[in-house]
Structure formats: C-alpha cells, structure tokens
C-alpha cells in the first residue's frame, strides 16, 4: 500500500498517480486526494481546494499534457481548484462534472462544467476509458469514475477509507445513498480509490459492508425511538451513535437527520416541532 504523503505525487497503480492536499480535518481525514490518470493525455480527478502549494504542484506535473479535469462533486474540498488550474494550464483544458441544485457554505457555487456531463458519459484515450457513474446520496451531484483497464473506482466521497460518509440533508439523502451503493455491483470493481484515505481492496466486500452499516444504523434509530414516544435529535444521538466519540456527535446528527427523514418518507416516523415519533 502506497503511503499518503502530503504534497508529494506518488504512483498508486500503473495508470494512476495521487497527490494529497494539505487540508486535513474531521470531514476530510488526512486531506483530499487528487488523482492523475494517464501518461500522455492526462485526466485530473478532484482538483481539490484553493491551496496555492497544491495547485503549484499540479501545474508543474500537468503542464502540456492535461486534457480534462473531472470533479466527483462540488463540495469545497473537491472542486474549487478547477477554475484556477484551467486558468493556469490553458483554456483548452475541459472541466467536467455535475452542477449542484443546492447552495450553502459547503458548496462551490463558482463551479462551471464546460459541457453537460453525467451518468454513462465517458472519456476515452488510447490508454484508458473512464466512465461516470451518478451516485447521489452524500451529494445529489456526486459522480464516481470507473477506470475500466484497472477495474478501479474513483469513489470521491461515496466511499472512504477508515470512516463513514456524512449524509447531510437537504442535499444528502440516505435512500439515494444506499441505492447508489447497490448500483456499483453492476461494475467489475476490484479497487476503490477514495477522495479521503488510502486505496481499498476487495471493493464489493467494502460496498456490502457499507450498506450493512447504514441499515444497522437505521435499526438503531428505530430502537431508540421505541424507548420513548417522542424524542429530539439531540436526545437520540447518544443512543444511535453510542459507538462514536462524543466530540463527533454534532457531525453525526447530520446523518441521523437523514436517517429520520428516510423513516418519515417510508411512513415509519413523523416529526412535530423537532420531536420524532415512531409510527410502526
């Protein structure tokens, strides 16, 4: 396994290099992984945040060979560097991704895709084929990218190494997330290259584990609601996330709300004035 080293471009597979951005944190883990695919015609996946040192390293590596910049989604740790890289590398570089239907501080509102790009669209060169897979859940405009020649999935924030993905409504949606995970079984994926953390082997096992984890969390929500006729999110959190450190509970409450909304959509729960009740 190739070590994660901030600011250093490393070869992680025959066709793929990785650069770890210097933006570690509770949502980003060790930082955002930016991937470079190819040798003569290059694709950059998830250019990352607007950090000068990160952008300078990419410009030095990509100049003259970069053709495309792809984003998995437009959260601010993934896409803002795209515009600056295009400006420095030349207008012929094509920036591609899906636009977000939501705003807010976590979204890059300045992102522009040079043309519509979504599920099933591909980039093909003599070296490789990259195919976009629409995987809403963490973000409604989330795309994974499948590198056919290496059976490798660039998963963005759909799957992470060492942690679960935050699903934050209104853009985050648990039912869509589980459906999008199941969709990945249609692809012969061997390895997952996440935006945060190291490469993940035995890809389908990881996908199955993630689905089981989300369904078990939903069962925990039901069980917590059964303990009392009416509970707020803050009341539910210690019961549903008893395996998560207390300092992470405010973050966990975003995903908890997404689980409650799913139960409401399924007709199993209802909410009045911030109090949630189990109906079945």
Residues 120-170: tens digit of each pLDDT: 999 999 999 999 999 999 999 999 999 999 999 999 999 999 888 999 999
Question: With 80 as the cut, is the pLDDT of residue 230 above it?
Answer: no
Section 252-261 average pLDDT: 96
Helix (H, G, I), strand (E, B) or coil at 191: strand
Residue 175: the pLDDT is 97
Task: Give me the chain's average pLDDT, please.
Answer: 95
Residue 121: the pLDDT is 98
Confidence of residue 106 (pLDDT cuts 50, 70, 90): confident
Per CATH, the number for 213-278 is 1.10.10.10
Confidence of residue 223 (pLDDT cuts 50, 70, 90): very high
Rounded CA-CA distance 139/174 in Å is 10
Q: Are 201 and 152 in contact (CB under 8 A)?
A: no
Q: Are 70 and 142 in contact (CB under 8 A)?
A: no
Please name every residue paired with 243 in a beta bridge, in sequence order, or none if there are none: none
Confidence of residue 54 (pLDDT cuts 50, 70, 90): very high
Rounded CA-CA distance 113/104 in Å is 19
Please state the pTM of the whole predicted model. 0.95
Section 162-191 average pLDDT: 96
Section 15-30 average pLDDT: 94
Q: Are 142 and 194 in contact (CB under 8 A)?
A: no
CATH fold, domain 10-201, is Metallo-beta-lactamase; Chain A (3.60.15)
For CATH 3.60.15.10, list the domain ranges present in the chain. Answer: 10-201
Residues 6+ positions from 141 with CB-CB distance below 8 Å: 73, 74, 97, 98, 99, 100, 101
The total of other beta-carbon atoms located within 10 Å of residue 14's CB is 11
Pinpoint the alpha helices (H) of 16-173: 52-62, 81-89
């Amino acid at each position: 396994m190739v070590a994660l080293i901030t600011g250093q471009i490393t070869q992680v597979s025959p066709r793929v290099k990785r650069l770890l951005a210097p933006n570690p944190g509770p949502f980003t883990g060790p930082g955002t992984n930016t991937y470079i695919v190819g040798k003569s015609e290059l694709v950059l996946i998830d250019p990352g945040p607007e950090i000068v040192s990160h952008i300078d390293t990419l410009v030095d590596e990509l100049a003259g060979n970069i053709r495309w910049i792809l984003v998995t989604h437009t959260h601010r740790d993934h896409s803002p560097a795209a515009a600056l890289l295009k400006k420095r590398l030349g207008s012929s570089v094509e920036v591609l991704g899906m636009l977000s239907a939501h705003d807010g501080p976590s979204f890059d509102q300045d992102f522009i895709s040079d043309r519509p790009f979504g599920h099933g669209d591909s980039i093909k060169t003599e070296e490789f084929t990259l195919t976009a897979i629409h995987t809403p859940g963490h973000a409604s405009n989330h795309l994974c990218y499948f590198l056919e020649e290496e059976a490798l999935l660039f998963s963005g924030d759909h799957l992470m190494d060492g942690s679960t993905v935050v699903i934050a409504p209104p853009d985050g949606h648990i039912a869509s997330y589980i459906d999008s995970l199941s969709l990945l079984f249609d692809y012969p994926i061997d390895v997952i290259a996440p935006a945060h953390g190291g490469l993940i082997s035995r890809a389908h096992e990881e996908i199955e584990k993630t689905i089981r984890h989300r369904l078990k969390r939903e069962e925990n929500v039901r069980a917590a609601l059964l303990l009392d006729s009416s509970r707020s999110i803050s009341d539910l959190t210690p019961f549903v996330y008893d395996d998560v450190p207390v300092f992470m509970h405010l973050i966990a409450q975003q995903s908890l709300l997404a689980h409650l909304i799913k139960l409401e959509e399924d007709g199993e729960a209802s909410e009045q004035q911030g109090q949630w009740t189990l109906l079945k």
